[in-house]
Amino acid sequence: MRGLVESDYRSALEVLHEAAAVDGPIPFPQPVLGALRRLVPCDVVTYHERIAGQPRLVFTSEPRGPVSLEIRAAVRRFAFEIDSA
């Protein structure tokens, strides 16, 4: 496993910068998730929250495209886990 390099620290600071700029009801909007996705390379970053019984879902992904049946099934599965927590 390689150690952290300057660009890793810069990417972590970018996540914090985007998070500090949030001014609204969603704590992790797409710009924050996008910065997190650049920090931790992955296909999809998703934020789930349930407020007053209403689900909220924010995600960013590459490549952008339609939501597949597998992704829809995962959303249903993880929404159930959030409800059970």
Q: How confident is the model at residue 77 (pLDDT cuts 50, 70, 90)?
A: confident
pLDDT score recorded for residue 19:
92
Cβ atoms of 48 and 74 closer than 8 Å: no
Q: Parse the chain into domains and list their residue ranges.
A: 6-84
Provide the token pair at 16: 């914090």
- Global pTM? 0.64
How far, rounded to the nearest angstrom, does the alpha carbon of residue 66 sit from its chain's CA centroid? 17
- Please list the residues that pair with 45 across neighbouring strands: 60
State yes or no: cis peptide before 63, omega within 30 of 0.
yes
**pLDDT, tens digit (0-9, with 9 covering 90-100), for 11-64:** 999 999 999 999 988 888 889 988 998 888 887 788 877 777 776 777 676 666
